[in-house]
């Protein structure tokens, strides 16, 4: 077939199709620093679920690893290094470390800008390295190192490196898992202290760095003000901070409960989870509050709020800015004003700000057996319906899909569609046409659906689709919209978080009305026999599908000879793909057979992500208007100006963990991601 032209390749080496087996992460810092790295740890685990990920940290961090075993598998104590203030060099510790330290496939430096810590990385004996380097210094390896972003929030700084490595991000949220022992300890402390959940405020006066501690007199005024509002005051801290809390306890009287030095970290966190409010310095507990979504007021006396303040500004208030051009210092009046504002917010309203939902008519979904999904969006977004269908299909329902003719061409890739209905132009989007509406209404009536879920992207109106379902007599009609509801919707979800990508938005809509929203198998499925047919076509054109394939759009090659360079670099065959002349099913089969996909097509890019294939997206695929980003694949999105030959080759090396220009040992040549496991 002419759309599979033969591309010369000097050598064909069967790719290993494996992911890194051992990963070391260097971050020898304190609690708050490690909590801000949790989104990064989560992304690493999502990209490499079977890898052994080891944290190289300070001695205390062994307990952190024990709490985060869902992301971290092992711990190695950082021996210290000259120039690192958290732990200086010690010859005996370094000798012992080198004697027992094992080699790693990859070492990732997440400790500062790398001016010193990058020199420690060889001690981990890694095959490949990644991390930050200071502006103005030589880059260790452009494929895997980025300039340290000085002005970024700590969470986003680390996620910038994640994105550079092409790993799918899993959000910015912090976490702090709690155990049964934590809850037991907290419940015992609450019982002994006579505390009621939601009726006390925790006041944390300590911080490891003395310069970060707000004056005790200021905390005393704030505690007095909260007590006057009827809040019990609970003083928290370590045993080293008990002397400070004792001063406050004497001033506040018997109603104050002093738990400094009397709880473990986990017990304190479980107690904090039931508090109405936290007042603290910028220290570890403020990040625990952010992780547990406990409202807080955080005082910044010697640290930068742009780097360390909680990202959720509706639930957390940050006061003071010593790094502003004119330093700003928080006063007790400032703190009480913000604290009272948070106390005046009901917990339900706080939830609503995060995308909460008003009271909706209850539905006994177990009795609803025929559900219609309506998708008025682009054909590319039809690919993103697979998780919704998988979630709903798990309960044995009959599912229908109403979409455009372009979207219907992809329906055979969606497991679980029992009835496919094709909407004519002027039916699902405005302006509507009466003849088109009458036709689809007749189809809907004949199908006897009991509920319709209208899946729209942010800013897209569900009006036309809801009108069709209303006329067809479908009794339950669900959609999300900020501006529209009325009688056409029985379940109007007024707000979903704007930051959700289309796939997450669809699943969030299901969750909002208590439909199943956690699919076990969200991937697309190529119809039986199609993969074998495409393999036959490839062999007819001289390709061996088992020897590794790079799938490349006809429009994605920047210069003549680029195909030969990709083939030489990867040791794989390059298949040119004419997306306009190939059916959606054939494209999906090609993507599923590929070891790397390079595309400008939004549909192809979403297929690559659904099949967990490494993806380099350019053009419209890299800059979708709906904010879509790959959720499963390692990927690089090259926007205009980054789609030249060198950027593309660098993206190939980064995603496949091929040796770069820095001359690293090619032991991981051909290394791919767990998509192929």
User: Over 90: is that where the pLDDT of 587 sits?
Assistant: yes
Contact (CB, 8 A) for 551 and 532:
no
The rounded distance, in Å, linking the Cα atoms of 413 and 15 is 27
What is the Cα–Cα distance from 176 to 237, expressed in whole angstroms?
17
Highest averaged pLDDT of the listed ranges 175-184, 435-444, 461-470: 175-184
Closest C-alpha to 174, from 256, 64, 97, 100: 64
Domain map (residue ranges) of the chain: 22-164, 180-353, 365-512, 530-676
Report d(CA 640, CA 273) in Å as an integer: 46
Does the domain at residues 180-353 carry the CATH identifier 3.30.110.30? no
595 vs 579: CA distance, rounded Å: 18
Mean pLDDT of 573-601: 88
Of 288, 284, 296, 297, the residue nearest 270 (C-alpha): 288
Span 365-512: which CATH code? 3.40.50.2000
Distance between CA atoms of 402 and 392, rounded to whole angstroms?
16
Helix (H) or strand (E) holding 244: helix 242-252
Rounded-to-integer distance, Cα 636 and Cα 458, Å: 24
Average pLDDT of span 214-227: 96
HSE-up of residue 307 (Cα within 13 Å, Cβ side): 18
Diameter over CA atoms, the chain: 87
CA distances from 270 to 257, 259, 482 (A): 16, 13, 36
pLDDT at 226: 96
CA–CA separation, 183 vs 177, rounded Å? 11
Q: Which pLDDT value is given to residue 667?
A: 33
Report long-range pairs for 111-116 (Cβ below 8 Å, ≥24 apart). 111/26, 111/27, 111/28, 111/29, 111/84, 112/148, 113/148, 113/150, 114/140, 114/145, 114/148, 116/81, 116/82, 116/83, 116/84
Q: What is the pLDDT of residues 646-677, one digit of tens each?
A: 888 999 999 988 876 544 433 323 332 322 22
Indicate whether 373 pLDDT > 80: yes
Sheet holding 549-553, edge to edge: 573-577, 549-553, 596-599, 615-618, 635-638
Residue entry with tokens 């470390």: 97
DSSP string for residues in 289-333: HHHHT--EEEE-SSS-HHHHS-S-TTTEEEE-BTTSSS-B---HH
Q: Which ranges of 127-264 does DSSP label H, i.e. alpha helix?
A: 154-164, 180-193, 216-228, 242-252
Highest mean pLDDT among 285-289, 420-424, 525-529: 285-289
Residue of 475 and 562 predicted with greater confidence? 475
Q: What are phi and psi of 2, to 5 degrees?
A: -70, -20
Give one word for 253, left, alpha or beta, with left for phi > 0 and alpha for psi -120 to 50: left
Round to whole Å and give the CA distance between 340 and 479. 36
Same fold, 22-164 and 180-353: yes
Task: Report the alpha-carbon distance of residue 480 to residue 499 in Å, rounded.
Answer: 14
Best CA proximity match to 34, nearest among 11, 13, 57, 53: 57
Do the strands 316-319 and 573-577 form a parallel or antiparallel pair, or are they unpaired? Answer: unpaired
pLDDT of residue 661: 53
Stretch 365-377: mean pLDDT: 93
Distance, in Å, from the CA atom of 179 to the CA atom of 194, rounded to the nearest integer, reads 22
Question: Is the pLDDT at 114 greater than 70, yes or no?
Answer: yes
Contact 358, 494 (CB under 8 A): yes
Decide the pairing of beta strands 52-57 and 476-480: unpaired
What is the structure's pLDDT at 424?
83
Higher-pLDDT residue of 10 and 340 is: 340
Confidence check: pLDDT of 485 > 90: no
Could you tell me the end-to-end alpha-carbon distance of the chain, in angstroms, rounded to an integer? 31
Residue 8 has a pLDDT of 40
- Span 337-361, mean pLDDT? 69
Give mean pLDDT, residues 618-626: 78
Question: Which residue matches tokens 């890739």?
Answer: 413
Nearest CA to 249 out of 275, 269, 273, 220 is that of: 220
Residue 15 has pLDDT above 50, yes or no: no
Mean pLDDT estimate for the chain: 87
Q: Residue 355: which pLDDT band, with cuts at 50, 70 and 90? A: very low
Looking at residue 664, its pLDDT comes to 46
CA dist 468 and 473 (Å) reads 9
Section 512-533 average pLDDT: 86
Model pLDDT, residue 484: 62
CA distances from 668 to 16, 43, 166, 508, 672 (A): 9, 20, 16, 39, 9
| Selection from 66-70, 522-526, 620-624 with the highest mean pLDDT | 66-70
Architecture of the structural domain at 530-676: 3-Layer(aba) Sandwich (3.40)
Q: In whole angstroms, how large is the CA radius of gyration of the chain?
A: 28
Contact 157, 149 (CB under 8 A): yes
- The continuous run of DSSP H or E covering 65 comes out as helix 61-67
Contact 601, 553 (CB under 8 A): yes
Q: Are the C-beta atoms of residues 94 and 79 closer than 8 Å to each other?
A: yes
Query: What is the rounded CA–CA span in Å between residue 566 and residue 574?
Result: 8
The pair of three-digit structure tokens given for residue 60, joined into one six-digit string: 């205390």
Distance of CA 352 to the CA centre of its chain: 21
Three-state SS for 126?
strand
- CA 143 to chain centroid, in Å, comes to 22
Q: What are 44-70's pLDDT values in tens digits? A: 999 999 999 999 999 999 999 999 999
7-11, 141-145, 661-665: least confident range: 7-11
**Bridge partners for 400 per DSSP:** 372, 419
The larger pLDDT score, comparing residue 587 to residue 666, is at 587
The edge-to-edge listing of strands for the beta sheet with 126-133 is 74-77, 52-57, 22-26, 104-109, 126-133, 145-147
What confidence score (pLDDT) does residue 356 get? 46
CA–CA separation, 307 vs 472, rounded Å? Answer: 54
Regarding the domain with residue range 22-164, which homologous superfamily does it belong to in the CATH classification?
Glycogen Phosphorylase B; (3.40.50.2000)
For the segment 6-25, the average pLDDT, to the nearest whole number, is 57
Per DSSP, what are the bridge partners of residue 553? Answer: 577
Q: Which of 154-158, 416-420, 500-504 has the least mean pLDDT? A: 500-504
Distances (CA, A) of 112 to 116, 150, 220, 315: 8, 10, 36, 28
């Amino acid at each position: 077939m002419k759309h599979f032209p033969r591309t010369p390749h000097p050598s064909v080496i069967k790719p290993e199709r494996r992911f890194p087996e051992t990963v070391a992460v260097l971050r020898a810092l304190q609690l708050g620093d490690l909590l801000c790295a949790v989104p990064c740890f989560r992304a690493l685990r999502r990209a490499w679920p079977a890898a052994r990920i080891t944290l190289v940290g300070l001695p205390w961090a062994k307990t952190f690893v024990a709490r985060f075993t869902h992301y971290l598998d092992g711990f190695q104590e950082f021996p210290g290094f000259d120039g690192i203030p958290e732990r200086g060099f010690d010859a005996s510790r370094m000798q012992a470390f080198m004697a027992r330290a094992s080699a790693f496939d990859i070492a990732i430096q997440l400790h500062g800008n790398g001016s010193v810590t990058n020199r420690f990385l060889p001690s981990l004996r890694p095959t490949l390295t990644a991390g930050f380097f200071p502006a103005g210094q030589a880059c260790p390896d452009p494929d895997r190192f980025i300039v340290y972003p000085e002005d970024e929030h700590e969470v986003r700084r680390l996620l910038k490196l994640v994105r550079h490595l092409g790993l799918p991000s899993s959000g910015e949220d912090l976490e702090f898992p709690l155990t049964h022992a934590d809850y037991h300890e907290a419940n015992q402390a609450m019982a002994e202290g006579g505390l009621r959940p939601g009726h006390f405020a925790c006041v944390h006066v300590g911080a490891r760095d003395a310069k970060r501690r707000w004056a005790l007199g200021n905390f005393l005024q704030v505690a007095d003000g909260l007590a006057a509002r009827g809040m019990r005051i609970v003083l928290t801290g370590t045993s080293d901070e008990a002397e400070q809390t004792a001063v406050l306890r004497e001033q506040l009287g018997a109603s104050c409960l002093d738990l400094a030095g009397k709880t473990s970290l986990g017990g304190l966190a479980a107690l904090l989870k039931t508090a109405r409010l936290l007042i603290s310095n910028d220290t570890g507990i403020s990040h625990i509050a952010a992780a547990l979504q406990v409202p807080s007021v955080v005082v910044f006396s010697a640290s930068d709020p742009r780097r360390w303040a909680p990202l959720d500004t509706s639930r957390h208030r940050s006061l003071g800015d010593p790094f502003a051009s004119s330093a700003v210092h928080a006063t007790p009046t400032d703190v009480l004003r913000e604290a009272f504002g948070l106390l005046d917010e009901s917990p339900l309203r706080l939830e609503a700000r995060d995308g909460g939902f008003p009271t909706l008519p209850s539905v006994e979904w177990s009795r609803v057996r025929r559900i219609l999904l309506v998708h008025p969006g682009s054909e590319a977004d039809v690919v993103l319906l697979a998780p919704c269908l998988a979630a709903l299909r798990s309960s044995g329902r009959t599912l229908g899909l109403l979409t455009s003719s372009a979207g219907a061409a992809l329906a055979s890739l969606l497991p679980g569609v029992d009835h496919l209905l094709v909407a004519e132009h002027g039916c699902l989007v405005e302006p509507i046409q009466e003849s088109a509406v009458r036709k689809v209404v007749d189809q809907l009536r004949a199908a006897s659906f009991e509920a319709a879920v209208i899946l729209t992207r942010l800013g897209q109106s569900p009006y036309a689709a809801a009108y069709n379902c209303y006329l067809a007599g479908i009794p339950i009609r669900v959609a999300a919209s900020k501006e529209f509801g009325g009688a056409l919707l029985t379940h109007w979800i007024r707000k979903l978080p704007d930051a959700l990508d289309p796939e997450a938005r669809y699943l969030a809509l299901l969750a909002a009305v208590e439909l199943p929203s956690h699919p076990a198998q969200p991937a697309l499925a190529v119809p039986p026999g199609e993969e074998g047919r495409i393999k036959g076509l490839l062999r007819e054109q001289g390709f061996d599908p088992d020897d590794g394939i790079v799938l490349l759009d006809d429009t994605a090659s920047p210069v003549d000879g680029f195909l030969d360079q990709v083939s030489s670099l990867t040791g794989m065959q390059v298949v040119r793909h004419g997306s306009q002349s190939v059916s959606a099913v054939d494209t999906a089969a090609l993507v599923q057979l590929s070891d790397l996909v390079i595309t400008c097509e939004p549909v192809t890019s979403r297929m690559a992500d659904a099949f967990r294939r490494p993806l380099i997206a350019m053009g419209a695929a890299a800059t979708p208007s709906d904010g879509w980003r790959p959720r499963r694949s390692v990927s690089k999105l090259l926007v205009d100006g980054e789609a030249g030959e060198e950027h593309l080759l660098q993206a190939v090396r980064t995603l496949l963990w091929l040796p770069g220009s820095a001359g690293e040992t090619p032991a991981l040549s051909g290394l791919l991601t767990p998509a192929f496991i």
